[in-house]
Amino acid sequence: MLITLLDLEREPVRFDLDLAAGAIDYGVEATQVSPLHVHGQAEVLHEHRGPKEVIADIRARASWSGIFEAPCARCLEPVRHPLGGDFDLIFRPLGADAGPADRSLGAPDTEIGYYQGEGLVLEDVLREQVLLALPARSLCRTDCKGLCPRCGRNLNTESCTCQTAPADERWSALSDLRSRLNPDPPAGKD
């Protein structure tokens, strides 16, 4: 949904949408598995930078929710995440803050996004919000065994007959140290 400045100059734009799975591309980081519900509004804010310079900023406020899947960090099986959140963001025309290249950024400058052309594409904002809400690392379960590094089999569902790699001789000093510090490991541990 393109939110244009022309529409915003007349009145704020309210939206209540259910975006179908596949409407937004999240790359390999996530897959949308339910409709993404978003409810909010956008309005134009005029920023006066002197007697003749006025910048048209877009303020977008909304709530969103949906169900997503992300690959497990160990075995790559999909992990389901119900996600949702609220945002209140300001977008400025691209190039409106162009100035000296050596200008330092303050905290308020990092909270402003930029739009290009006629207005703001809501799906781009939602993509960013979903990717920021995903956990940094997804696990299908805490004891996930992952994939075999040699054959690629999922060790949670099948076993493999791959040989384990011989230990690197350079680590033998650490192995000896571990055996001296803990001579009798508990049962079931190395």
Residue 74, pLDDT score: 93
pTM, full prediction: 0.74
Residue 107, pLDDT score: 47
What's the Rg (C-alpha) of the chain?
26
Mean pLDDT per block of 10 residues along the chain (190 residues) reads 88 95 92 96 87 86 96 94 95 74 50 84 94 93 92 90 75 75 61
3-state secondary structure the chain: CEEEHHHHHHCCEEEEEEECCCCCCCCCCCEECCCEEEEEEEEEEEEECCCCCEEEEEEEEEEEEEEEEEECCCCCCEEEEEEEEEEEEEEEECCCCCCCCCCCCCHHHHCEEEEECCEEEHHHHHHHHHHHHCCCCCCCCCCCCCECCCCCCECCCCCCCCCCCCCCHHHHHHHHHHHHHCCCCCCCCC
Residue 184, pLDDT score: 64
Residue 106, pLDDT score: 52
